[in-house]
Amino acid sequence: MDPSNGVQIPQRLVELLHSAPSIAVLTGAGISAESGVPTFRQKQIGQSQNGLWSRYDPEELATPQAFRRNPELVWRWYTWRRELISGVAPNAGHQALVEMEQHFPQFTLITQNVDGLHQQAGSRRVIELHGNIQRNKCFAENRVVGSWSETGEIPPRCPVCGGMLRPDVVWFGEPLPQDALESAWKAASTCQVFFSIGTSGIVEPAASLPYIALHTGAVVVEINPNPTPLTAQATYVLPGPAGSVLPVLLAALSRA
Ligand code: BV8
């Protein structure tokens, strides 16, 4: 079995990484695809979409308006996603990022994903731009709620004010957590190499991060089996699934 999975890592990139004090990584749904978590915009190749996922457009369900209109449907969609995520494991791509973290004095992992798989894999410092599906908060008070009495009502109620509970994720039209966003902007503007991994680069303001890195003179590396709006401007494009490319990149880093 060819350990390189047919993946070519440019030697110049390996040399750059060896001399780079600061690395920033942005991940999207694509890095969890090989764990079996459907991505947002791309139908899984070879798998027929079933259940709620195929009947609804995530951008129509992941909004405060959708929740006000049909809180039970939105809560059930997240319950379905939580159950799906509870049955999957981090893949070789998540694992390689855990090990890459040890190679650099400064390594910032920024994720758009809400599945918690980076933390489950062992990544220590993860900036969650869009929240985490395993946490819930009160829709009225916007405060995280860890436990509540199950009455069978869907969505469940806040034990303090009786308002509806909602997942602690950032919906479309909602602002990102300011501290997470500022940390991401800082990492993107001070790194020497910025990786964009498994993201279609459509959702703002996360999609602007690689351009911030480019404009401050960083090398930008895209890892994705498909082209995206970033591809034409990326310094290096490593076309392929993250679960194949990242272990080869890590091996090249460890060899030299
Ligand atoms: C906000 C949590 C302002 C919920 C999500 C300009 C500036 C600011 C805002 C906007 C703007 N233009 C438009 C907006 C509005 C909007 C937006 O960006 N809309 C888009 C659709 C145009 N942005 C917002 O609403 C944001 N809010 O800016 O508020 C504000 C300020 C003050 C006060 C009030 C408001 C909030 C955006 C966050 C939305 N929440 N998720 C949930 O999960 O339920 S976004 C959602 O999409 C996920 O987080 C996901 O990660 C994210 C991005 O998608 P991707 O991760 O890229 O996934 P996708 O499926 O698209 O692509 C997968 C990729 O993986 C593909 O390229 C594929 O080729 C690749 N792939 C597949 N397999 C693999 C692989 N890659 C590697 N390996 C593989 N094996």
Cα 214 to Cα 219: distance, rounded to the nearest angstrom: 6
Q: Label residue 99 exposed, middle or buried (CB < 10 Å: 0-12, 13-18, 19+).
A: middle
Q: For residue 3, what pLDDT is reported?
A: 64
Q: Is residue 76 part of a domain?
A: yes
- For the record, the structure tokens of 161 come out as 């004010």
Per the structure, how many domains does the chain have?
Answer: 2
- For the record, the structure tokens of 152 come out as 């069978």
Q: Is residue 5 part of a domain?
A: no
Q: Which residues are catalytic?
A: 130
Query: Euclidean distance between the first and final Cα of the chain, in Å?
Result: 22
Q: For residue 255, what pLDDT is reported?
A: 87
Closest CA to 78 of 156, 146, 177: 156
Q: For residue 48, what pLDDT is reported?
A: 44
Residue 63 belongs to domain spanning: 38-87+136-169
Q: For residue 60, what pLDDT is reported?
A: 87
- The CATH code of the domain that includes 203 is 3.40.50.1220
Q: Measured from the CB, is residue 33 less than 6 Å from ligand 1?
A: yes
Same domain as 52, residue 163: yes
- The CATH code of the domain that includes 83 is 3.30.1600.10
Residue nearest to atom 3 of ligand 1 (CA): 175
Distance of CA 53 to the CA centre of its chain: 18
Q: For residue 47, what pLDDT is reported?
A: 42
Q: For residue 52, what pLDDT is reported?
A: 47
Same domain as 42, residue 115: no
What is the identity of the amino acid at 127?
Answer: I
Q: Measured from the CB, is residue 199 less than 6 Å from ligand 1?
A: yes
Q: Is residue 21 part of a domain?
A: yes
Q: For residue 144, what pLDDT is reported?
A: 98
Q: Measured from the CB, is residue 132 less than 6 Å from ligand 1?
A: no
CB contact set of 119 (below 8 Å; sequence gap of 6+)? 126
Distance of CA 60 to the CA centre of its chain: 19
Same domain as 244, residue 219: yes
Q: For residue 45, what pLDDT is reported?
A: 41
Q: Measured from the CB, is residue 40 less than 6 Å from ligand 1?
A: yes
* Atom from ligand 1 closest to the CA of residue 93: 78
- For the record, the structure tokens of 18 come out as 């060896």
CA–centroid distance, residue 77 to ligand 1 (Å): 18
Q: Give me the residues of the chain with pLDDT under 70, please.
A: 1-4, 42-54, 256
Q: For residue 35, what pLDDT is reported?
A: 97
Q: For residue 99, what pLDDT is reported?
A: 96
Q: How many residues does the chain have?
A: 256
